[in-house]
Amino acid sequence: MKNNKFLTATFILMLGGVITKALGFIIRIIYTRMVGSEAIGLYSIVTPTYSLMLTIATLSLPIVISKLISEGKHNSFKIITSATFITLAINIIVIIITFLTKNYLAVKLLKEPRAEILILAMALTFPFVSISAIFKGYFYGKQKMVPHTISNIIEQIVRIILIYLIIPSLVEKGVIYSVLGLILISIGSELASIVTFLVFLPKKFQIKKQDIKPDIATTKDIISISIPTVSARLIGNIGFFFEPIILTNILLMVGYSNSFILREYGAYNAYSVSLLAMPSFFIQAISSSLLPEISKFYYLNNMKMVKRRYKQAMILSFIVGLFFSSMIFIFRNKLLLTLYNTLSGSNYIKVLAPFFVLFYLEGPMQSVLQAFGKFKTCMGITFIAIIVKLGSMALLSLLHIGMYSLVIAEILDIVIIVGLSYISIRKVISSQ
């Protein structure tokens, strides 16, 4: 039964992922057709900034908490309590910094004054996302995937309802209001997710007054893992943050119009990458199930099971990646028309799709390295990949090839991450 726990947990997450992703696509289709391409482009421009700030605010808590709980070194309630105090304190700091820098970020860096209010609105969602992330980490560590699956489904259903009730009236007021509405709607959906997690907490999981304050030893362990973990994610998000800034400024310098950049960058992110990453919930399921499994067996020095789980994850991820990348490549136009009522981004999918087979290996490989405690290695790999991506994108943008400079840079990023991750994992396994 224990040997099947990984596959069972993965299957539950995959099943939930299918439903969640289907609901997510319904949301994207509804919202895209409601607000139009300009709003989608504006949302895409501010998304990298949001991702960067959210990474700092959440401290990679699902990964950290999952690892600590699966190892069983600390009381589960103390882990959650300590993590809550840490993340809420950081949330307050990040929100204050965002408020003070929102004008500079929007006007000076993103070259889009309308993004100022959107950046501030995004910051207000952080506490809700962070609390939800803590519960996700808890259930991942316990390898109980049903609560996570149900919370995701409920979250998406609440989002659909709120979009139908709120967005139509905001569209009439203008583009900025429609984007602002979508951002703030996430607060309601995250609250629904948190309530769902609370329902699934075991009855013995009761709050005692003496346990309310954070535990020092547990807090130190959380910080010692979260800092290198979040550093790796932070590097990736810093790269994502600078991506539209560098791209926009260089393309403007070489003669492209702001409307072209906004339209094409929106198409690349909202249509091309979104469609190619559509089956990523399969990989997220594998990665989420893999981390506590590898952590547990590596902690027990059971390398036979570590190798077995790693091999299973790689084979499964490769099959998923090969199948979906091929299908999306072949039927890209039909999928774009059916889902988004547009052919924008089809040309980018044609180039990216063959390399997205490797993209589906990234998540499981990173989970294995994190389970090994190789957080600095993950950070180094991400740093090298981002430098190459941004550097190549900047140079290629000078060649007047438009958004293809980003497409080629993305391919280089994928190849480097997978290649270096494979080398690092083999090194750890061989040394045991």
Question: For the chain, which residues make up each domain, given as ranges?
Answer: 2-431
Q: For residue 23, how many other CB atoms are within 10 A of its CB?
A: 18
Lowest mean pLDDT among 61-65, 133-137, 378-382, 426-430: 61-65
Residue 431: count of CB within 10 angstroms of its CB:
6
pLDDT at 210 > cutoff 60? no
Question: 107 with 35: CB under 8 angstroms?
Answer: no
pLDDT, mean of residues 295-303: 82
Secondary structure class of 252 (helix, strand, coil): helix
Residue 47, pLDDT > 90, answer no
Asked whether the beta carbons of 17 and 284 are under 8 A apart, the reply is yes
Q: Which two tokens stand for residue 227?
A: 């800092």
Of the candidates 100, 49, 37, the one whose C-alpha atom is nearest the C-alpha of residue 263 is 37
Which of 15, 21, 97 shows the shortest CA–CA distance to 56?
97
How far is residue 165's CA from residue 178's CA, in Å, rounded to a whole number? 12
* Of 101 and 74, more confident: 101
Quickly tell me which residue has 């990646």 as its tokens. 321
How far out from the chain centre does Cα 259 lie? 28
The answer to whether residue 140 scores a pLDDT higher than 50 is yes
Q: Which of 30, 277, 72, 281 is nearest to 168 (CA)?
A: 30
Mean pLDDT of the chain: 84
Q: Which bin fits 201, alpha (ψ -120 to 50), beta or left (φ > 0)? A: beta
Query: What is the arithmetic mean of pLDDT over 108-118?
Result: 83
Coil, strand, or helix at residue 208?
Answer: coil
Most confident segment among 48-62, 199-213, 253-267, 318-332: 318-332
**Look-up of token digits 């900034």:** 49
Place of tokens 């199948």: 323
62 close to 137: Cβ distance less than 8 angstroms = yes
- CA 113 to centroid of chain Cα atoms: 26
User: Smallest Cα–Cα separation from 63: which of 369, 283, 353?
Assistant: 369
Residues 6 or more apart whose Cβ sits within 8 Å of residue 71 = 295, 296, 299
Closest C-alpha among 272, 273, 247, 241 to residue 260: 247
| Residues 99, 108 contacting (CB under 8 angstroms) | no
Band (pLDDT 50/70/90 cuts) for residue 202 is confident
At residue 201, φ and ψ (nearest 5 deg) are -60, 140
Question: What pLDDT, on a 0 to 100 scale, did the predictor assign at position 205?
Answer: 57
As a whole number, mean pLDDT of residues 376-385 equals 90
Assess whether pLDDT exceeds 60 at residue 3: no
Locus of tokens 């979260």? 226
